[in-house]
Structure 1
Amino acid sequence: MQTYDTIIVGAGYAGLTATRELLKAGKKVILLEARDRVGGRVHTQHFEDGSYVDLGAAWVGPTQDKLYALAKEFAVETFPTYDTGKSTLFYNNKLKHYKGLIPPLPIGSLLSLDMAIKRINKLSKTVDLKSPWNTPDAAYYDSMTLATWMNRQMPFNSAKVMFKLAAEAIWAADPNEISMLHAMFYTKSCRDFDTLMNVKNGAQEERFVGGASLPALRLAETFKEHIRLKSVVRAITQQDNQVIVKGDGFELTASKVIVALPPTLAGRIEYAPIMPANRDQLTQRMPMGTVWKTYAIYDTPFWREAGLNGLSATNEGYVTVTFDNSPKDASKGIMMGFVLGNQAKAFNQLAPEERKASALDTFARFYGEKARKPLKYLDHSWAEEEFTRGCYAGLMPTGAWTSLGKALREPVGNIHWAGTETSDIWNGYIEGAIRSGERVAQEILKS
């Protein structure tokens, strides 16, 4: 039986970062990954013609300093998300093109929407990021959903519709699934609501030349002899200050183990002794968001010729938000559509041809009949993947932060927890994953 200082489970950005930090400190480390690749919820798919799409996380933006530093270290270039020209809104059976961030709504709705965004920003500033349960009035905000709060804030239906579209795009969940305290925590974790929504000076500001997997792949290459792919961890046993990690065809021991998985997946490993009640309850209470990415690849980004930037929104159909995901050199036109929350759950039930027809219908509604004839169409759901079961991240429903939140990062014996869900800064993003990897490595080095 091989023995290590630390065994790390999960080779996403969190697990890769923790591995590097511990190797730097001279520790004997092995990183176990269930898939046949590293990167976790970040996966760039390449095609024979040289084009590529990010099936998972894709963007980087201001204050995501750890991710920018990693990209720079491994010579991965970034480029601005295309947003030159007009955005598109299809609402109440009307197609409208507009400049700027705010869609064309009646003045009452606009003011109502603006006020709600300002209020969530103001409320989020009160959150204790390291201990959200210590936030003023935490129990009150944790007892209501984001949907309840929205409905109280906005008397105008069109304002509610637009806020809901933004919320679904931010959390990949219906606002009725999320605790208001979690919405406040997440908003502050990622600066503010404006940052979460925006391209310029926002979370969607830039993309990676070659795809968002590239920094992970290049980092992994520097210590590939310490990574084992296709190694599914089934059980973790703690005994006599040692931890035994078992999987199909392997059994390893270490002084410490880092589980760098979404909480719901961490909860599916068999532990001995069993997890404390609050830790297990927490992993039962943190569902993943639900999202499909739909992609249509064309010869050119033809919508740009019409002065459109590829950013669009609608509350009709399955695809409700689109982005221009064309490469930096615009050698192909790549339109990406998000199917989010409850729409994604319904989309799960459709046959592949129905999904394609629906997505292309929406693209054609926004960008004309040419959008119906892509060179290639593909879509991807992380909820279908055995070793993810949803995206973007694990979410806190009502009551979870205040009753069980302490169990999210608290080590259990010699088992420590990482992953973007455990990060207090840029929770839910690649940046948060990297930060969690650094935090957990320090936790182990100090223990």
Structure 2
Amino acid sequence: MKNYDVIVIGAGYAGLTATRELIKAEKEVLLLEARDRVGGRVYTKYYDDGSYLDLGAAWVGPTQDKIYALAKEFGVQTFPTYDEGKSTLLFNKKVKRYNGLIPPLPIGSLLSLDFAIKRMNKLSKTIDLQNPWQSPNAAYYDSMTLATWMDKQMSFKTAKIMFKLAAEAIWAADPNEISMLHALFYTKSGRDLDTLMNVKNGAQEERILGGASQPALRLAETFKDNIRLNSVVRSISQENDIVTVKGDDFEFSAKKVVVALPPTLAGRINYYPLMPANREQLTQRMPMGTVWKTYAIYDTPFWREAGLNGLSATNDGYTTVTFDNSPKDGSKGIMMGFVLGNQAKAFSNLSEEERKSSILDSFAKFYGEKARNPLAYIDHSWAAEEFTRGCYAGLMPTGGWTSLGKALREPVGNIHWAGTETSDIWNGYIDGAIRSGERVAKEILG
């Protein structure tokens, strides 16, 4: 049995980055991945005709310096998300088209919404990103959900509905599932709410040419002999400064192990000796968000001819947010709809035909009858993925940060933790995953 310096578990962007940094430091590293591919929650599906769909994370934007640097290093280009023309709001059964960022709502609701966004941005600036539980009023904000705070801030029902739509799109969860302290931490981690919501100057500003998997695939190629796919880790045991990692048909040992998985997945591994109580409790308390990505593929992006940018929002039906995900050259029309939070949970109960019918019905309401007849319809549930169990990321419920937050990144013996959930900057994003991989490598190298 070969003895490594470090074994890394999970070949998403966090695990790939940690592996690369450790190999650079001349360590003997083995990277184990349960799936038959690298990339984790970033998954570009490629088709025979050269087209592709990003079924997982897809966008990059300003201040996400790590993913931009990685793309540049491997000659991977980015291109702007299409947002020329008018956006669409379907609200109370009425379709409204509008230019710019401000939806056509009654003035009272707009002012209420604007006030709540500015208030949240201001509060988020007080958060200690390294130790959120040490932030001013941490216990107070951790004792309430984002939904409770929203209810207190806004008196207009329409403002509350719009804020909820934005929150679902940011966290892939219902606001009643998230601690307000976590919402503030996450907001600051990605700059502010405006950045998290927007296309221009925001987290959805650009896409990766060739698919978001490209930088991961090219990075993995540089140390492919260190990667073992289809290797599900069942147990990790520590004894006399040696860590042994076992699966159904393998057993390896190392001086150090990096677990680069979402906390809920890390909690499914058996540890000997047992994890400290707080680490154990943490992995029980950080559920993943719930999201489906739905795609309809057309001959052309026909909505562009009508002066529409493919961005829409609604409180009607399963898909509440859409984006134009057509290729850079516009050679096909690809409309993507998110199904998020509680809608995603209900959507999971439908048959494939019911799901398709519901999504195309929504697309037709936004963009006309042409939308009912795509060349193809595809949808993907991340909650149904065995080695993900949900997306975009693990979330802290009320009380999570203040009682157990310290256990999120704290090494246990010779076991270290990575993954976007452990990042202080761009938590929940590809950029945060890369940052966590760099951090954990430094931790190990001392």
- TM-score grouping bracket, smaller chain normalisation: over 0.9
Which residue in 2 is equivalent to 1:67? Answer: 67
Could you tell me how far apart the structure 1 residues matched to 2:178 and 2:222 are?
A: 39
| Native 8 Å contact 1:51 1:332 kept in 2 | no
Size of the aligned set, in residue pairs, is 446
| Native 8 Å contact 1:394 1:421 kept in 2 | yes
Which residue in 2 is equivalent to 1:262? Answer: 262
Which residue in 2 is equivalent to 1:344? Answer: 344
Larger displacement relative to structure 2 (273-282 or 48-57): 48-57
| Native 8 Å contact 1:382 1:388 kept in 2 | yes
Could you tell me how far apart the structure 2 residues matched to 1:169 and 1:444 are?
A: 35
**Matched AA of 1:40:** G
Deviations along 1:350-382, whole A, 9 cap, x unmatched? 000000000000000000010010001000011
Could you tell me how far apart the structure 2 residues matched to 1:48 and 1:241 are?
A: 49
Deviations along 1:103-151, whole A, 9 cap, x unmatched? 1000000000000000000000000000000000000000000000000
| Native 8 Å contact 2:93 2:316 kept in 1 | no
Which secondary structure does the structure 1 equivalent of 2:364 belong to?
Answer: helix
| Native 8 Å contact 1:60 1:204 kept in 2 | yes
Which residue in 2 is equivalent to 1:94? Answer: 94
Which residue in 2 is equivalent to 1:380? Answer: 380
Q: How does 1:191-210 map to 2 (within 5 A)?
A: 191-210=191-210
| Native 8 Å contact 1:87 1:310 kept in 2 | yes
Could you tell me how far apart the structure 2 residues matched to 1:102 and 1:239 are?
A: 59
- TM-score relative to the length of structure 1: 1.00
Could you tell me how far apart the structure 2 residues matched to 1:230 and 1:248 are?
A: 10
Which residue in 1 is equivalent to 2:106? Answer: 106
- TM-score relative to the length of structure 2: 1.00
How far 1:49 sits from its partner (Å)?
A: 2.0
Which secondary structure does the structure 2 equivalent of 1:295 belong to?
Answer: strand
Which secondary structure does the structure 2 equivalent of 1:164 belong to?
Answer: helix
Could you tell me how far apart the structure 2 residues matched to 1:137 and 1:325 are?
A: 41
Could you tell me how far apart the structure 1 residues matched to 2:298 and 2:52 are?
A: 12
Could you tell me how far apart the structure 1 residues matched to 2:386 and 2:354 are?
A: 23
Deviations along 1:14-68, whole A, 9 cap, x unmatched? 0000000000000000000000000000000112222111000000000000000
Could you tell me how far apart the structure 2 residues matched to 1:154 and 1:98 are?
A: 23
Structure 2 gaps, min length 5: none
Which residue in 2 is equivalent to 1:151? Answer: 151
Which secondary structure does the structure 2 equivalent of 1:384 belong to?
Answer: coil
**Matched AA of 1:399:** G
1:331 aligns with 2:331: yes
**Matched AA of 2:280:** D
How far 1:102 sits from its partner (Å)?
A: 1.6
Could you tell me how far apart the structure 1 residues matched to 2:7 and 2:49 are?
A: 39
Runs of 4+ in structure 1 off by over 2 angstroms are: none
Which residue in 2 is equivalent to 1:30? Answer: 30
How far 1:166 sits from its partner (Å)?
A: 0.2
Could you tell me how far apart the structure 2 residues matched to 1:324 and 1:387 are?
A: 28
1:409 aligns with 2:409: yes
Could you tell me how far apart the structure 2 residues matched to 1:399 and 1:138 are?
A: 10
Could you tell me how far apart the structure 2 residues matched to 1:102 and 1:19 are?
A: 44
Could you tell me how far apart the structure 1 residues matched to 2:51 and 2:36 are?
A: 22
Could you tell me how far apart the structure 1 residues matched to 2:249 and 2:340 are?
A: 38
Could you tell me how far apart the structure 1 residues matched to 2:106 and 2:374 are?
A: 36
Q: Percent of aligned positions with the same letter in both sequences?
A: 81
Structure 1 gaps, min length 5: none
1:184 aligns with 2:187: no
Could you tell me how far apart the structure 1 residues matched to 2:286 and 2:2 are?
A: 34
Which secondary structure does the structure 2 equivalent of 1:284 belong to?
Answer: helix
